A and B are shown apart, each in its own frame.
Chain A
Amino acid sequence: MELSSPDREPTPPPPSPSDGELVARVLAGDTSAFDELIRRYQRQAVAVSYRLLNNVDDALEVTQNAFVKAYASLASLEKVESFGGWLMRIVSNLSLNFRRGRAGRRHLSLHDGGDEGQADAPVQQQWQSNTAGPLHQLQSQEMGEKLKNAMSQLSDKQRQALVMFTIEKMPQKQVAQTLKCSVEAVKWHVFQARKRLKELLADYL
């Protein structure tokens, strides 16, 4: 009974389908294939959105909207294999729009600071948890605020490139697809972002 022999090597799991194959299946009517795409990219989408918005609840909302938008306009995706970059472009554009909308709402709000405080909370908590003592906490709060302000002074492209490449460690090629530019342009945006941050954060370097 050779087939039932315990020495027989286990059959390798089937290779997971590529993004292009999943997209093709969705377009052919197999909507369950989109679930695999959601599982594949939801963490990255949340991370990118969170870095751009500094608020996890907003990031989750943007992520959900981005997937729904991607699903509805999937037929317009020209290169099905670049689904990841395309989705991140939707995520980052929605995040930037959300950010602008939030800035507008805050500007109009009489209770300025409430929204901002919530947005900063996760960043500050994380930073605070890594330090000890009231002096360090004060310093870290000040630095966290300074870092947030410095990031907000970057251009959209610089901030997106920095978040995706430097902070989220996405491959340069995918960042280039997301920003609709060349890999060299991504390097340039990252360089310019870092250069600007070095100027703005000179006291902390």
Chain B
Amino acid sequence: MNRDQLEFAVSQYAEGGLSADQEAALKQVIEGDPEAEKILEVERSLSSLLAVGLGEVPAVDYEQLFGNISQAVAQADAPQVKTYRIGSWNWPARLALAASVLIVGFVGYHFYAPSSGPVISNGVAVEHPQQIANAPRSSTQIQVLTAAISSPSAASAVSRIAIGPSPAAATAALGHYEGVFSSRSGKVAISAGLEPADKPDFPY
């Protein structure tokens, strides 16, 4: 226990803020430590100085004070629990409330609704699993798997491309190129892609 801790504990002891166990333990410390005993003496002097120096609260007629406060309180506004009644609102306020509810609902749905995005399968994102085009699996190089989705609708001709080694290539390559995978930064080259068939000015 350092000096600050000792002072804190003795201060609490002098204030009566210690539990019985803590008090008993501190008494033992104080008995065997003249410095702690001196600290306690100063704390007690301070307590009596505060008690005597500040004195008692002057005598007050509390019945009269009660009457005064009670009268003042009676003249004050009664505490009101605020209630909001939509029925009393005018139509712009109702419209604004309805719009707010709709906006909050839309935003909430947008952020928290279950994702309708790509299916995750073996670490590869697949939009339309049945239409995915795999690169040859026999290569020992790191394979880049490109998938161009031929969507029935023109608007989503190229909707999503999933990039990464096919599961077979990953299994074959990991054994031989484990060091390469861990030491080189990843580079991805897309070797080929399909042009959107019916929307040539599609920017992507």
Contact = CB atoms under 8 A, between A and B. Distances in A.
Interface residues of A, number: 48
B15 A165 contact: yes
B54 A201 contact: no
B45 interface: yes
Interface in B34-52: 42-43, 45-47, 49-52
A138 interface: no
Contact of A38 (B53, B54, B66): B66
A166 B47 contact: yes
B77 interface: yes
Contact of B11 (A34, A56, A126, A194): A194
Contact of B49 (A74, A126, A205): A205
Contact of A64 (B53, B55, B58, B68): B68
B73 A122 contact: no
Contact of B72 (A68, A74, A127, A172): A68
A122 B58 contact: yes
Interface in A151-187: 162, 165-167, 172, 187
Contacts of A68: 69, 72-73, 76
A74 B43 contact: no
Contacts of B118: none
A201 B49 contact: yes
Interface centre among B7, B50, B62, by most A CB within 10 Å?
A: B50
Interface in A5-59: 26-27, 29, 31, 34-35, 38-39, 42-43, 46-47, 50-51, 56
Contact of A39 (B12, B60, B66): B66
Interface centre among B43, B65, B81, by most A CB within 10 Å?
A: B65
B4 to A, nearest CB: 9
Contacts of A60: 60, 65
Interface residues of B, number: 38
A182 to B, nearest CB: 14
Contacts of A72: 76-77, 79
A201 B43 CA distance: 12
A4 interface: no
Contacts of A191: 7-8, 11-12
21 contacts: A26-B79, A29-B78, A39-B66, A47-B57, A50-B58, A56-B58, A64-B68, A64-B72, A67-B69, A67-B73, A68-B73, A73-B79, A74-B79, A130-B52, A130-B55, A143-B49, A162-B50, A167-B54, A195-B7, A197-B46, A205-B49
